[in-house]
Amino acid sequence: MKKITWLFALTGSLLFGSCQKSSTLSETGIIPIPNELVNGTGTFDLSPDSGIKLVGQNEKLTHLGEYLANRLRPATGFDLPVSFDQGQIILELTDSSSDESYNLEISENEVKITASGEAGLFYGIQTFLQLFPVELASSSVQSVEWTIQTGSIKDSPEFGYRGAMLDVARHFISVEDVKYFIDQMASYKLNFLHLHLSDDQGWRIEIKSWPKLTEIGGSTEVGGGKGGFYTQEEYEDLVAYAAERFITIVPEIDMPGHTNAALASYGELNPGVNLPDGDFSTVNKKELDYQMPLKNPQASELYTGIEVGWSTFSSDLELTYAFVDSVVREISELTSGPYFHIGGDESHVTEKDDYIYFVERVQDIVSKYGKTSIGWDEIATAKLLPGSVAQFWAKEENAKLAKDQGNQILMSPATKMYLDMQYDSTSRIGLHWAAYIELDSAYLWEPTEFASGISKENILGLEAPLWTETVTNRADIDYLVFPRLAALSEVAWSSKEKRSWESFQKRVVSHGKRWDLTGVGFYKSPKVNW
């Protein structure tokens, strides 16, 4: 009797299991949703005999083949040899262009991913991986049928810059956690990781010519914890790790405001004026403990609170530019990507003229070291160099100023893209000065219609920042980032015509299962039937 019940349960679950399986390719939970998708009628099975065949010249091809094999091997337990001779999974690279598009053709006998550039092939691989049962994400062998639906996909991104930002200054984030974040970004086809490396509360990257920045400035964080910093070798390792996943690191040194950690490390950089009395906050942040620094013309005190807008470099001190020059030079030498982020936000105690003078001089320094400046939208009040990018977070009129100068805008509207905003008033961490951002709100907006006068051609791309005033560990990152990062990746990658909340709401369910399986502590938004 017992046996019969057991059998019953088993058959039931098998039946249920197979009902759960998507019956067509378009019903598989691909995020971001591809441009063009045609359903086939059959299935393709990955089997112990499957192999990966490489077609093309590029030396990165072997690397991509191995990457795919390594993603498929642990859960399937299959050998999946990678070769130029045979295999049913074909990776074909036709050129070495920077084009990010790919084609994916799945028939009953083979799968073929074709691209003219390595990044495109990598994105095709990401899509392919999402087609399998979620158990594929497991690190041990699973007894599952590795079946996917046939059909074809032609895909390319809407925006060339699809980014996320980690504020490693308010709370330091370890190399290991940044790598984890990079892996997550890669699976959603994001390609720029902006690291906010300095702020009032901490300086997080070693500068060999100014060592006290990390000795002193890196020694604490919000709440008074021990802080931390990346050595230059660790930073280079992150740049390389990201590059292998087609992600470009954008380093940010925030200035002239948000500079207390530097001012606490080197007294001689201090403006030498007393900070004004009063409340310097423009926004009413969550009531965390904070302490104002001593009003001291010498080195300022380290700061572990979360108020903003009260520190500044001195723009009429030549030493300031010597300092900035060293910092930009050292970091630029370690950075393979084209951008250097100069911050520029919330400099509420910098005179307007001083601010403009400072931004213009710093842009020149950045350009001298072969990089292009990005800055928060306020930098558009200065004269921008051709190519400089204004990152829109708050003020439409600043975005407009950038556009009128012929410069592009990186869209990070706080009300939609700030990953540190709470989902609702019950969220256990996060701020809410800009908005509460539930999953549907993060999804339902159109970047080319968001700020008046800013249309597609003015937009370089999108970036979702995670500020970390209230974020102290991986669980906190997971909770604020997922599932919103998946939603934002679709806004950045997929065309307006393809996006639909109803569809996303269904597709994200399998991602939730994958997150559960891999220990990503995501927010179980009530907007989704998980």
Selecting among 118, 206, 330, 346, the annotated active-site residue is 346
Residue with Cβ nearer ligand TNX (100 or 345)? 345
Among the listed residues 307, 325, 346, 490, the single contact to ligand TNX using CB under 6 A: 346
Residue with Cβ nearer ligand TNX (206 or 307)? 307
CB 202 within 8 A of CB 220: yes
The angle subtended at Cα 74 by Cα 70 and Cα 76, nearest 5°, is: 105
Distance (Å, rounded) from C-alpha 449 to C-alpha 110? 41
| DSSP strands (E only) in 68-146 | 82-83, 89-93, 102-106, 111-115
Among the listed residues 173, 431, 454, 459, the single contact to ligand TNX using CB under 6 A: 431
Residue with Cβ nearer ligand TNX (131 or 193)? 193
Smallest separation (angstroms) from ligand TNX to the CB of 255: 12
Half-sphere exposure of 187 (CA within 13 A, CB side): 20
Residue with Cβ nearer ligand TNX (418 or 515)? 418
Distance (Å, rounded) from C-alpha 175 to C-alpha 331? 17
Among the listed residues 132, 192, 203, 467, the single contact to ligand TNX using CB under 6 A: 467
Distance (Å, rounded) from C-alpha 180 to C-alpha 14? 34
Distances (CA, A) of 308 to 149, 200, 215, 288, 430: 52, 8, 23, 13, 16
Q: Judged by CB under 6 A, does residue 463 bind ligand TNX?
A: no
Q: Which residue bears the tokens 């691909």?
A: 30
Distance (Å, rounded) from C-alpha 241 to C-alpha 248? 10
Among the listed residues 100, 155, 158, 420, the single contact to ligand TNX using CB under 6 A: 420
Residue with Cβ nearer ligand TNX (285 or 498)? 285
Instruction: Measure CA 299 to chain center.
Output: 34
Smallest separation (angstroms) from ligand TNX to the CB of 430: 9
| Active-site annotation holds for 490 | no
CB 399 within 8 A of CB 451: yes
Distance (Å, rounded) from C-alpha 205 to C-alpha 53? 42
Among the listed residues 122, 128, 159, 418, the single contact to ligand TNX using CB under 6 A: 418
Residue with Cβ nearer ligand TNX (11 or 282)? 282
Which residues does residue 54 pair with via DSSP β-bridges, in sequence order?
91
Among the listed residues 131, 308, 384, 508, the single contact to ligand TNX using CB under 6 A: 308
Residue with Cβ nearer ligand TNX (114 or 422)? 422
Residues touching ligand TNX: how many (CB under 6 A)? 10
Sign of the C-alpha dihedral, residues 394, 396, 397, 401?
A: positive
Q: Judged by CB under 6 A, does residue 345 bind ligand TNX?
A: yes
Instruction: Please give the residues from 382 up to 401 whose contact with ligand TNX meets the rule CB under 6 A.
Output: 393
Residue with Cβ nearer ligand TNX (151 or 217)? 217
Which DSSP category does 27 fall into?
G
Instruction: Please give the residues from 97 up to 116 whose contact with ligand TNX meets the rule CB under 6 A.
Output: none
Between 268 and 307, how does the x/- string for binding to ligand TNX read (CB under 6 A)?
----------------------------------------
Distances (CA, A) of 396 to 8, 49, 348, 411, 445: 62, 57, 18, 11, 16
| 438 closest CA partner among 418, 420, 422, 462 | 422
Distance (Å, rounded) from C-alpha 163 to C-alpha 465? 8
Question: Residues near 176 by Cβ (< 8 Å), separated by ≥ 6?
Answer: none
Among the listed residues 102, 172, 376, 493, the single contact to ligand TNX using CB under 6 A: 376
Smallest separation (angstroms) from ligand TNX to the CB of 282: 9
Smallest separation (angstroms) from ligand TNX to the CB of 100: 28
Smallest separation (angstroms) from ligand TNX to the CB of 269: 20
Smallest separation (angstroms) from ligand TNX to the CB of 109: 52
Distance (Å, rounded) from C-alpha 423 to C-alpha 436? 5
Smallest separation (angstroms) from ligand TNX to the CB of 292: 16
Which DSSP category does 421 fall into?
B
Q: Judged by CB under 6 A, does residue 206 bind ligand TNX?
A: no
Q: Which residues are catalytic?
A: 346
Binding site for ligand TNX (CB under 6 A): 308, 345-346, 376, 393, 418, 420, 431, 467, 469
